[in-house]
Amino acid sequence: MRGLRVNLRIGVLALQGAFAAHCECLASVGVEPVEVRSPAQLESVQALLMPGGESSTMSQLLESSGLFPAIANRLSAGMPTFGTCAGMILLASEILDGRSDQHSFSAIDISVRRNAFGRQVDSFESSISTPIGEFHGVFIRAPRIERVGANVEVIGTLGEEPVLVRQGNVLAASFHPELTGDARLHEYFVTTVSNMRKV
Ligand code: GLN
């Protein structure tokens, strides 16, 4: 374990999807993950990771658990948040090809089209340029970022395509960074979060 020696409680939204592997990545960089399924659990964390999975199902579960308004409040108060794949869809300001009853937090000014990335729409892996160097990205029915707002920084690309973006305390990736045993992007998020400790 590398151990970042940061005293942060980072929540992992654990309603559905790939949350367990994110918890392992956080633990491997020395941060204790907290599974979040309720507003009370959200209150105990300083930052949140929103995993891949099925964004329309997660949207429903966010409503029924009472977490949607709770997370929306925390996001507007500046909670550092990292959304991956379906998690990115949940953070986006516009969802294209979403279900009509699917909601998002509008926490990062991007338009994302569900299930649209790459020629192999189902799944593929590729090397991505990121602030921490080349990273092996796993894309699973991945959302494509079709528009990036003026306040959004593109910090990771696959060829010409934006796949890792940031707006203030919000980070979003169209791929799954948690599936290859490489926790450098989790470490980047934690380091970024710990540099911004005002939440
Ligand atoms: N296609 C999924 C959705 O729209 C996202 C896929 C993923 O998270 N791996 O929610």
Predicted confidence band of residue 7 (pLDDT cuts 50, 70, 90): confident
C-alpha closest to that of 31 among 16, 17, 49, 43: 49
Sheet holding 92-96, edge to edge: 92-96, 108-113, 144-148
Token pair for 87: 């998690």
User: Ligand 1 atom closest to Cα of 139?
Assistant: 9
Indicate the burial class of 95 (C-beta count within 10 angstroms; 0-12, 13-18, 19 or more): buried
Catalytic residue list contains 178 = yes
| Closest ligand 1 atom to Cα of 54 | 10
What is the total residue count of the chain?
A: 199
> Which of the following is catalytic: 22, 178, 186, 187?
178
d(CA 148, CA 55): 20
The dihedral built from the CA positions of residue 96, 42, 46 and 189, taken in this order, carries a sign that is negative
Q: Kindly report, residue by residue over 156-185, the tens digit of the pLDDT.
A: 999 999 999 999 999 999 999 999 999 999
pLDDT tens figures, 44-61 = 999 999 999 999 999 999
Which pLDDT does position 26 carry in this prediction? 94
> Domains in the chain, please, with CATH?
9-198 (3.40.50.880)
What does the DSSP 8-state code read for residue 150? T
- Average pLDDT of span 96-125: 90
194 pLDDT tier (thresholds 50, 70, 90): low
CA 136 to ligand 1 centroid distance, Å: 18
Residue 117 or 33, more confident: 33
Which atom of ligand 1 is nearest to 140's Cα? 9
Active-site residue, 134 included? no
| 176 catalytic residue (yes or no) | yes
Ligand 1 neighbours, Cβ below 6 Å, are: 52-55, 85-86, 89, 114-115, 140-141
What's residue 153's pLDDT? 96
Cα(197) to centroid of ligand 1, in Å? 30
Give the active site residue among 85, 103, 186, 187.
Answer: 85
